[in-house]
Structures are given as C-alpha cells and as structure tokens.
Amino acid sequence: SSIGKFGADTDNWMWPRHSGDFSMFRIYADKDNHPATYSESNVPYTPKHFLPISLDGVETGDFTLVFGFPGRTQEYLPSVAIEQIIKKLNPDKIAIREASLAVMDKYMRQDPQIKIQYASKFAGIANYWKKWIGESQGLVASNAVATKKQLEADFKRIVAEKGLTVYQGIFDDFDKLYSEYGEVAQARDYWIEVIYRNIELMNLSFQLYRLEQVYDQKGAETFIVAKDDFIAGLDGFYKNYNAQVDRDIFAKLMRIYYEKYPDPTAKYPDLAQAMRDKAQYIYTNSKLVSYPGIQSIFSGDEASVILDKLHADPAYVIGKKFSEQFFNEINPNYYKIKDQLEVLQKKYIKGLITVFPDSKYFPDANSTLRVTYGQVKGYEPKDGVEYLPVSYLDDVIEKYIPGDYEFDVSKKLQDLYASKDFGSYGEHSKMPVNFIGTNHTTGGNSGSPVLDANGYLIWLNFDRVWEGTMSDYNYDATICRNIMVDARYILFIIDKYAGAKHLIDEMQLV
C-alpha cells in the first residue's frame, strides 16, 4: 500500500502525484477457454488479442485515449443548476463531512487502535469532501455560471429570431423546477450525509429497517433466514466500530440536521447540549452499539419477539423514524421533481443541437462504454504556477517520511532508487511514475486503460486533478486533467520490486 496509496489523503485529487495505483488479476476459464465456475481443472484464459505495452514513454502533446465505463457527467446543465451546486448543495455536504472528519481525526490522533479502525472510513468520507471543495472552486474560477448564462442569452435570442416557439420559456421552466429541486435535493443530501453516510448507528438502523420490511412483506419464515444472514455478516462491522467516536459524530451532526430541519415534536433551548444528552442516552442504552448486544436482540426464532425487542431499542426507534421519513417523504418528493427536470433537460439538449447546429456535443457519461481522447499536457493551476505533465520517483524519495501511513517508502524501493536499477523502464536515469492528460474522465474511470496513437497501452487512468474536478459539469481543457500511472512504473514495480519477471515474460513490450 505504500506504493499503491502513496500520498493517501494528502495527495488525493492532487498533482504532482506519485501513486503506483494498479492491481493485476489472472482470469481463468475451462479447458475449452469458456467461462466457468471455480474448478481446479480451470486454466488461464487465452484472449484472441491483447494489447502490446509501449516502453517509449510519453511527452507533451502525445495522443492519449481512455476507454471505460464512467458513471455520470452533466456537461449541459443550465446556469441555475450550476449556481445551486456552488452556493447551496456542495457547501452543505462539505460542512457535514467536515464536522464528521473533525471528530474522527481527534480520536485517531489520540488512540492508535481507533486510527486503524477508522483509517479507511476517514479516507472514504474525505474523498468526496475534498472533491466537492475543488469542484466548487473550479466552477467559480472557470466562470462556469457566466459562460452558461451567455450561452443561454444567445439561445434565447436565436429562438426568438427563428420563431422556435417550442423552446421559448424553457429557462423560466428551469428556474421554477430548480427552485423546487433545491429544497428536495437539500433535504435528501442532509439525510444521506447525516443519517446514512456518517453516523454508523443510524446507518445500521436503516439496514435493520429494511430487514423489518422483509418480515412485513414476506413473512416470519423468510425474516428468520434473512436476520441470521444479516447478523452473521456484522462481525466485520463491529471489529472496526467505536461507539464513543460514533456517539460524538451523532451529537455533532444531529445538531446540524435539526438546525436545518427542526424536530416538530420537541423544542430545545440549547440544541447542542440537547443532542449531546440524546447521544449519551442512546449510546448508553442501545444494544446495537455492540456485537453481543445485537445478537441478544436477534436471539431465538420467534419473529414477533425479536421485533418487539428491536422496537424497544432507543437507537432503532429514532433510526426507524428517519428511515420512514426517507422512503415516505424525502425520496418520493425528490424523484417527483428530478423526473420532471430530466424531461426538460432532454428538451433543452435537443434545443441546443437545433439552435447551435455547428457546435460539437460530446456525450455525457452514463455508466456505459465511453471513449475520451486527449493529449499529454501540463497546466497552470494559478498565476505563476506551472505543472509539468510527468512525475518521477525522485519526488517519492523527497516526500519520504519514515513510518508515516501516507508517505512511507519501503527499503527495497529506496535501494532500487539509490542504485538507479530501473532496467529498461527508466528514462535518462530517472523513473517516471505518473502523467496527466486532457482526457475527460470521471468516477468509474479508475482502472480504465490508456492507449497511445499506435494503439499500445501506456497504461492506467486512476484520478483527476483537484482544480479540474468541476469537469463533471464544466469541462475546460485548459485546467481539467486526468491522472495516469505510467506503464513503465507498473512494469518496474512488477519486475524489479516484486521480482515477478515471469509475468513480464507473458506480456508483449514494444
């Protein structure tokens, strides 16, 4: 992990980057080269064709092609939507996660055991917290709202000139729907970030609520089977769970939640203290805070008795209330408006193509196969700063902090660097690690192959630069960059570091 996650949270979304972020798998098939379930008689799969791997390296201006199955981009949203993301939706999510991360960070610094338990959780929550910050800053810096407003002004002018009445008033419709959407999306974001994403006990209660639905919809017999499977799978959860950490996150985030959405059944003169008191009561009296506790609730085979015990648990009482609110109110209200917006957005896209027929419209990502081309290129994140497009192992050694979970470097990698034992993978006595390009990528492109102009692998896409994460909404080739692991670094790690030359021998290097 000191190679694959080098830089960890500090370097996440950042450039320069120095991560050997790759994995290798061998695919097996039956003796006839067909897909098969596991069997000792299976043999390595033989493809009809595989891609050669280039040892030539990359230079500024080189062609890069990335193909994969990216999740979602929304390049053609109207200005009102972008303004809402910048001013309302992203700031709320950032603030909630920031509060959660602050609690985790405090405990992780105090207790090595908690640091181990929460390292992965912290990284997961910090990932999009950092992304949203960069996204918002990028949208502002690139004048995304003003650019879209100018496009919309031109759109309205041409619609009026050509008498395209079907598109008249479309931005009034957007304004109306996004005014409604802002409220329902905000309510949904608060619920997801507070109840589902950051308070572990509430997330567990949500899962238990879904389990109770099994009883309501499929009966006691199915419920008993489902609850046994569910409880058996919780051992790993409790292994990395600390009730004290979660209690403090509960108190902090529920205060944020009730400040925005006051509890209609109670008035709190001192909301912060009230949430601390509520947290103390719940985490002291709930059996859900420990594995033996939840096992005691679900012991036995009488479904009604189990549910009676569950309904008496204070954590489940509040968790069920929030779960019912989500399914009965928040989510239906959200999708009611979202569905209307999707219909209007399709009309707008058709309008853009009609009004500006000479413009080029690349497709948004939608989790299907998508190809994006670009070129190796550095960028200027701010005035007076210029980033070159390739990073090297020299910088890994410079960043080395002994024993640090983010910047540790193994002795073997240090020795290989000191001896310059890079084999045929080095470049002028230097070892390239990562490079950047102008390809338009997003979440879901991690692990996507990267090809050069000859169709050779130069290897692996895995991230974007922080200043360009706004590319989900506003791709700007001057600042948006995808980050890739150089093929030569991957081969160097496999061959020289791991000593797996036999794997190199199976590859075609050109």
The answer to whether 193 and 96 are in contact (CB under 8 A) is: yes
Distance between CA atoms of 459 and 445, rounded to whole angstroms? 13
Distance between CA atoms of 363 and 341, rounded to whole angstroms? 18
DSSP 56-71: S---TT-EEEEEE---
How do beta strands 370-375 and 482-486 pair?
unpaired
Q: Which band of pLDDT confidence, cut at 50, 70 and 90, is reported for residue 306?
A: confident
The answer to whether 503 and 454 are in contact (CB under 8 A) is: no
User: CA–CA distance from 495 to each of 21, 56, 311, 462, 488 (Å)?
Assistant: 16, 17, 58, 21, 10
Q: What's the pLDDT score for residue 263?
A: 86
Q: Beta-carbon neighbour count of residue 295 at 10 Å? A: 14
Distance between CA atoms of 463 and 17, rounded to whole angstroms? 10
Q: E strands of 332-405, at which residues? A: 370-375, 379-382, 385-387, 390-392
Percent of the chain's residues with pLDDT above 70: 100
- Here the tokens at position 155 are 């759109």
Q: Which residues contact 264 (CB under 8 A, 6 or more apart)?
A: none
Residue 226 CA from chain centroid, whole number: 30
Sign of CA dihedral 313, 319, 321, 324: negative
Q: What's the pLDDT score for residue 149?
A: 98
Q: What's the pLDDT score for residue 65?
A: 99
| pLDDT tens digits along 87-119 | 999 999 999 999 999 999 999 999 999 999 999
The burial of 433, by beta-carbon neighbours within 10 Å (0-12 exposed, 13-18 middle, 19 or more buried), is given as buried
Sign of CA dihedral 233, 239, 244, 250: negative
The burial of 97, by beta-carbon neighbours within 10 Å (0-12 exposed, 13-18 middle, 19 or more buried), is given as buried
| pLDDT tens digits along 400-430 | 999 988 999 999 999 999 999 999 999 999 9
The burial of 245, by beta-carbon neighbours within 10 Å (0-12 exposed, 13-18 middle, 19 or more buried), is given as buried
Question: Sheet harboring 63-68: ordered strands across?
Answer: 370-375, 63-68, 449-451, 457-464, 482-486, 432-437, 390-392
Domains in the chain, CATH or no CATH each: 8-69+368-505 (2.40.10.10), 79-351 (no CATH)
The answer to whether 136 and 473 are in contact (CB under 8 A) is: no
User: Average pLDDT of 55-71?
Assistant: 97
> Has residue 301 got a pLDDT over 80?
no
> Has residue 474 got a pLDDT over 80?
yes
Instruction: Compute φ and ψ for 372, nearest 5 degrees.
Output: -130, 130
Q: Which band of pLDDT confidence, cut at 50, 70 and 90, is reported for residue 305?
A: confident
DSSP 300: S
Q: Which residues contact 312 (CB under 8 A, 6 or more apart)?
A: none
For 7, the 3-state DSSP assignment is coil
Torsion of CA 305, 306, 308, 314, to 10 degrees: 160
Q: Beta-carbon neighbour count of residue 123 at 10 Å? A: 13
The answer to whether 412 and 15 are in contact (CB under 8 A) is: no
Which residues lie across from 371 on neighbouring strands?
Answer: 67
Q: Beta-carbon neighbour count of residue 417 at 10 Å? A: 18
| pLDDT tens digits along 226-260 | 988 898 889 999 999 999 999 999 999 999 999 99
